[in-house]
Amino acid sequence: IKVNRTANCVTVYTYDEKGKYTIPVRAMICSTGLDNSTITGDYTIGIKSEWLSLVGDVFGRYISGISGDYLFHSVPYYSMSEEDLELAEFNKLGEQASQGCVRLAVSDAKWVYDNCPTGTNVSIYDDAENAGPLGKPDAIKITDFTNKWDPTDTNNQRCKRLHNQKRRRILRPCRSNSR
């Protein structure tokens, strides 16, 4: 995993035919630490936890430890409820916003949690010119502040219902007036 701290972009690699991790497979927008407070260097993923209490009386989901208190995790939640997201913090993905951790949308934090086991190499660096080989994904912005859940969270039941309603509207057959 490579984290471009300047670009607020994470790129995950898989191995090539020689067993070297050179093939980029996924890019994720993130929020690194304010004032470059995210550490740089080479580390390995350590602890894993589905929920964890964070600094500031908030909680993160799908935690993958980088080094000490530096973690990959979701945007913070006010409680251990998937429907209590700090919405304003979600809208900061793509810019520095954390106290040093690497914040991700829930879908990306879960992907790292599920697919990058303990011992996975993590390199955190600065490159203002190049976000990474897959580029920097566009940020999703929350505009409906009555929904307090991460719009990428496909495990959230309310989110699933909303996606299914939209899909049914899109997949409804068109009726033609012609006979």
**Would you name the residues annotated as active-site residues?**
73, 101
What tokens does 154 get?
A: 């496909």
User: Strands 58-67 and 70-74: what pairing?
Assistant: antiparallel
The number of C-alpha atoms within 13 Å of 108 and in the hemisphere containing its C-beta is 26
CB atoms within 10 A of CB 128: 9
Q: Are 55 and 44 in contact (CB under 8 A)?
A: no
Cα–Cα distance measured from residue 161 to residue 56, given in angstroms and rounded to the nearest whole number: 32
3-state SS, residue 68 = coil
Q: Are 16 and 22 in contact (CB under 8 A)?
A: yes
Amino acid in the structure at residue 152: T
Cα–Cα distance measured from residue 10 to residue 106, given in angstroms and rounded to the nearest whole number: 14
